[in-house]
Amino acid sequence: MYDFALVFSLRHARREPPMALTREQIASIAALARLDLSSAEIPVYQDSLSRILDFVGALDRADTTDVAPMSHPLPGLSQRLRPDVVTEQDRHEQYQANAPQVAAGLYLVPKVIE
Amino acid sequence: MSAWHTSTLTQLAAGLRARQFSSVELVRACLDRIDASQAALNAFISVTRERALADAAAADRALAAGGGGPLTGVPIAHKDIFCTQGVRTTCGSRILDNFVSPYDATVVAKLRGAGAIMLGKTNMDEFAMGSSSETSFYGPVRNPWNPQLVPGGSSGGSAAAVAARLVPAATATDTGGSIRQPAALCGITGLKPTYGRVSRYGMIAFASSLDQGGVLTGSAADAALMLREMAGFDANDSTSVDTPVPDYVAALEQPLAGLKVGLLREFFDKGLDAQNEQRVREALKVYEQLGARLTEVSLPNLPLSVPVYYVVAPAECSSNLARFDGVRFGYRCENPRDLTDLYRRSRGEGFGAEVKRRIMTGTYVLSAGYYDAYYLKAQRVRQLINADFTRAFGSVDVLMGPTTPTPAFAIGAKTSDPITMYLNDIYTIGANLAGLPAVSIPCGFVQGLPVGLQIVGPHFSEARVLNAAHALQRATDWHTRVPQGYA
């Protein structure tokens, strides 16, 4: 098994103890992510997300003064443009064959406006 | 010819062209092997028998008429992350259990255009999030070398299928090691090309700045043959790079003399299993005998690649997986109260535990107040790691080291602690962060289990990387070993 104390040891001794996420924080993250969690799932994610955040806290050790964020692995790639012409055909019937509920070419969802 | 399953893809393609056997015979033999192994390995989610046999018959007609492409009649499998028109495409998830793709991924279309026959869709970690192929909705994949062990992941079904010689090649994807790590654990060859080399169109997105399609095969020569057909510019992928595809097969035999190999000091760390290291060092000795010049290089920021990855990949995943909403396709919960309830329960019931963990991690690191501290910080450290690689490639042609810290581990051994699981990819993630091509090839065994050697090159150096891998495979026979019961 990989000795992951090694990766942790890279970190400066942090002043504060690892922060544990509260039940409320997990519930609020889940709400933002539109995920329904059972009450049994919440403590599981409290534990593992706290540990993951503590683990990625190792990044604090790197000096990134004046370092530009890298969002993409190929430097200098610019957004490609194409001629503004119609290239797609109407294939909505084919696409909607995968939809849970469709009527008259429209996707059906529960009533939004009373 | 009785030993189809131990023949290479290159040999099979040549045999078909020479009409030594028919594609229908070959495809039927492979389908029978798939069926016979399914209970033991669970390598496939879907097997497309009827369609494969019809395609094989068409291939035989094309070959008889003197036509056909470079792969005409050759059986392959696709990781179930690639969309296949008219065929269920699940990504190993309940949320896509009923999804039949209305279009083909570019990789799928190109390989079919080259004549390859799809036999089915391989099992994988759900949404390619995992290093053990245990998180699939369709149950874990098992390692052909020992069914108690994982095959690695996330492309574990493709790796097990190639290692057990069910198919000579299978497509795969690599976001943090998902081609190379299972290649190492299953004793086969796995190639992750340069970011942008192979189209991502129709490849279900996990982390878009890291995802890259590639291939698992029995040899570097077979990987070269597959890549030549898979690579190339695609207007449907906005990060596809418009640069010519070299003839990777023709470059295989280039002499190795003078090749400057950098040994990654950070990869030979205390976490590396001693016997695993021994096998890797033996392979490096072979390279020296072949005329390569070995020097040690240091990439000081590389140990931070796992923490960078576990910010960047979840962040991108939380955004990409927002499309699974229970409205347009995929799973929908029963009797939703309102639209929010529909979203939340469809996603909560449709996604598995690890996918939810990553969506939430990503949501957190992107949320107001944490974006700078986690996401932007990780992107800056990613730049430092990238600069380390650029500096190293100023003085060496390729970098070499182990693919994984240990050989395959037991099913269930690492499922309780996500960080232990994440550290399986400690040697592979760097190449994804920097977008580099990398290959894993077998270099020996530890207690009957295969060990992988990793070769990483600069951007678009696939020909060089495959050439170096091929040289070891000419000098050794590790890549020809077949697990007991599948020989």
Alpha carbon B267 to chain centroid, angstroms: 20
| Tokens encoding B219 | 């040899």
In a domain, A57, yes or no: yes
Q: How many C-beta atoms surround the C-beta of residue B462 within 10 A?
A: 28
Q: Please name each of the domains of chain B with its CATH number.
A: 4-260 (3.90.1300.10)
Q: What is the pLDDT of residues B437-451, one digit of tens each?
A: 999 999 999 999 999
Distance from CA of B225 to the nearest CA of A (A): 25
Exposure class string for B151-175: b at 16+ Cβ within 10 A, else e:
bbbbbbbbbbbbbbbbbbbbbbbbb
In a domain, A96, yes or no: no
Q: How far apart are CA B47 and CA B85, in angstroms?
A: 14
* Interface with A, mutate which of B309, B377, B384, B403 (most A CBs under 10 A): B377
Set of chain B residues whose Cβ sits within 8 Å of the Cβ of A77:
196, 239, 241
Shortest distance, CA A80 to any CA of chain B (angstroms): 7
Whether A30 is in a domain gets the answer yes
pLDDT at A113: 84
Q: Do A55 and B326 make contact, defined as CB atoms within 8 angstroms?
A: no
A101, B301: Cβ pair inside 8 Å?
no
Q: Is B353 on the interface with A (CB under 8 A)?
A: yes
Q: How far apart are CA B459 and CA B457, in angstroms?
A: 7
Query: Which burial class, exposed, middle or buried, applies to B343 when counting CB atoms under 10 A from its CB (0-12, 13-18, 19+)?
Result: buried
pLDDT for A114 beyond 90: no
Q: Which of A6, A70, A108 to mutate to test the interface with B (most CBs of B within 10 A)?
A: A70
For residue A84, being part of any structural domain is answered with: no
Report field, pTM of the whole predicted structure over 0.90: yes
Out of A6, A30, A57, name the one closest to residue B271 (CB): A6
CB contacts, 8 Å: A98 with chain B: 98-100, 102, 328-330
The answer to whether position A90 is within a domain reads: no
Could you give the number of structural domains in chain A? 1
Q: How confident is the model at residue A77 (pLDDT cuts 50, 70, 90)?
A: confident
Ramachandran category for residue B183: left, alpha or beta (phi over 0 → left; psi -120 to 50 → alpha): alpha
Give the structural domain span for A23. 1-62
Query: What are the CA-CA distances from residue B483 to residues B6, B147, B188, B369 (Å)?
Result: 11, 11, 11, 52
Identify the H or E element spanning B443: strand B438-446
| Residue B102 clears pLDDT 50, i.e. is over it | yes
Angle between helices B377-392 and B305-320 (to 10 degrees): 120
Contact B454, B402 (CB under 8 A): yes
| Residue B161 touches chain A, beta carbons under 8 Å | no
**B437 touches A: beta carbon within 8 Å:** no
Q: What is the per-residue pLDDT for A84? A: 94
In-domain check, residue A33: yes
- Both tokens of B164, joined, read 């057990």
Measured CA to CA, the distance from residue B328 to residue A108 in angstroms comes to 9
Q: Which two tokens stand for residue B115?
A: 């004549």
Per-residue model confidence (pLDDT) at position A8: 43
* 3-class DSSP assignment, residue B94: helix
Question: Do the domain assignments include residue A100?
Answer: no
Residue of A nearest to B373 (CA): A60
Q: CA-to-CA distance for B399 and B130, rounded, in angstroms?
A: 25
Average pLDDT for B472-478: 98
Mean pLDDT of B25-52: 98
The phi, psi pair for B149, rounded to 5°, reads: -110, 160
For residue range B248-301, list pLDDT tens digits in order: 999 999 999 999 999 999 999 889 999 999 999 999 999 999 999 999 999 999
- Nearest residue to B385 (alpha-carbon basis) of B316, B431, B419, B454: B431
pLDDT tens digits for range B183-235: 999 999 999 999 999 999 999 999 999 999 999 999 999 999 999 999 999 99
The pLDDT of residue B269: 87
Cα A94 from Cα A92, distance rounded (Å): 5
Residues of A in contact with B308 (CB under 8 A): 56, 59
Q: Which strand ranges, in their side-by-side order, compose the sheet holding B438-446? A: B44-47, B117-122, B75-79, B169-174, B212-217, B189-192, B438-446, B449-456, B398-402, B260-264, B293-297
pLDDT computed for residue A18 by the predictor: 58
Q: Is pLDDT of B407 > 90?
A: yes
In which residue are the tokens 């399914």 written?
A: B38
- Identify the H or E element spanning B216: strand B212-217
Query: How many angstroms separate the CA of residue A47 from the nearest CA in chain B?
Result: 10
Predicted local distance difference test score (pLDDT) of residue A15: 38
**B328/A contact by beta carbon, under 8 A:** yes
Our answer to whether residue B79 is catalytic in this structure is yes
Burial class from Cβ neighbours inside 10 Å (0-12, 13-18, 19+) for residue A61 reads middle
B158 in active site: no
Mutate to test the interface with B, among A3, A11, A19, A36 (most CBs of B within 10 A): A36
Per the annotation, the verdict on B238 as an active-site residue is no
Task: Give the pLDDT confidence score for residue B2 in this predicted structure.
Answer: 53
CA distance B23 to B19: 9
Residues B37-47 have pLDDT tens digits of 999 999 999 99
